[in-house]
Structure 1
Amino acid sequence: MNDFLHKLPQFVGNHLALSLLLVVLVIALIVTQIMLLLRKFTELTPAGLTQLINRDSPLLIDLSAIADFEKMHVPGAKHVAMSQFDPENKDLAKARELPVVVMDKDGRNVDGAAQRLVKAGFTRVYTLGGGVLAWQQAQLPVAKGKN
């Protein structure tokens, strides 16, 4: 270990670009983890969503494209187009105390919607990690069509 510490300054001097890249990557990792800890919503696995459905009857909002929603969605999910998603809507405001789960086809575009719900005063906000595709891959039932 002592030998390593003596050679480290020489290595950093000889490989400055690699050393800076390592520092940048470590900082990016730390910032990403801190942001995950500070966000006010939780990402659920398909098994976690199943437990939540069985325990609390959450409001399920699917932000997938309508074609993807009609091909498959979590049973009981309501389709809302991303362009029409409004947490301040009167009908949605009635559900502020309910758990709300936001999902889409692959889980990539739901963080912004979840943050908007939190900002609008929703206290129990969740996202489905991996989206409806993860739900299907977990071999859980999917519904087809508009309902």
Structure 2
Amino acid sequence: MQQLLEFIANHPFLWSAVAAVIAALIANEIWRSLRGDRPLPPSDAVRLINSRDAVVVDVRSAGDFKKGHLLNAINIPLAGITERANEISKNKECTILCYCAMGSTSQQACQRLQKLGYSHVHSLKGGINGWQAAGLPITRK
């Protein structure tokens, strides 16, 4: 313990940087949870689809969509999400579930849709890879 305290005393800038990074991570997690931006795990996404008739939006490329997607998903790549948002629903109160390959691109799509006024937009945690890892089916039709 004495050596740790001595190390901290000898390297104050290093420990200040570590403390700042930890504080930033904690603040980011608190901010995301307050905003409701937490991606939904596959089990919650299934409940959302079944109970709220969520519109499922695949934001991957058309080629990836053809290789396999969630049942009844519509394909609107991220680059065209703003221009093609009216294809999702004209009702801004509808529930929307966006997904991509691994979960990060769909969060960007959710942010864009929220800026357009859609209030119930969710991202699938882990994307289609997380969906398949949970043992849930995809279709090629």
TM-score range, shorter chain: 0.7 to 0.9
Q: Secondary structure at the match of 1:110?
A: helix
Q: Does the 8 A contact of 2:54 with 2:96 survive in 1?
A: yes
Q: Which moved more, 1:108-117 or 1:97-106?
A: 108-117
Q: Does the 8 A contact of 1:97 with 1:123 survive in 2?
A: yes
Q: Shift in Å at residue 127 of structure 1?
A: 0.4
Structure 2 counterpart of 1:28: 24
C-alpha separation between the residues in 2 aligned to 1:125 and 1:87?
Answer: 17
Pairing 1:76-95 to 2, within 5 Å after superposition: 76-86=72-82, 89-95=85-91
Q: Structure 1 regions of 5+ residues with no counterpart? A: none
The C-alpha deviation readout for 1:77-118, integer Å capped at 9, x for no partner, is: 100122211267444451312100111111111222111211
C-alpha separation between the residues in 1 aligned to 2:86 and 2:14?
Answer: 54
Structure 2 counterpart of 1:141: 137
TM-score scaled by length of structure 2? 0.85
Equivalent residue in structure 1 for 2:68, among 66, 72, 87? 72
The C-alpha deviation readout for 1:22-55, integer Å capped at 9, x for no partner, is: 2122222122213312435442111111111111
Q: Does the 8 A contact of 1:87 with 1:117 survive in 2?
A: no
Bigger Cα Rg:
1
Which 4+ runs in 1 deviate beyond 6 A?
none
Equivalent residue in structure 1 for 2:10, among 14, 17, 28? 14
Q: Secondary structure at the match of 1:122?
A: coil
Q: Secondary structure at the match of 2:51?
A: helix
Pairing 1:78-117 to 2, within 5 Å after superposition: 78-86=74-82, 89-117=85-113
- Does the C-alpha gap of structure 1 residues 93 and 77 become closer, same or farther in structure 2, counting only changes over 3 Å? closer
C-alpha separation between the residues in 1 aligned to 2:14 and 2:46?
Answer: 45
TM-score scaled by length of structure 1? 0.82
Structure 1 counterpart of 2:127: 131
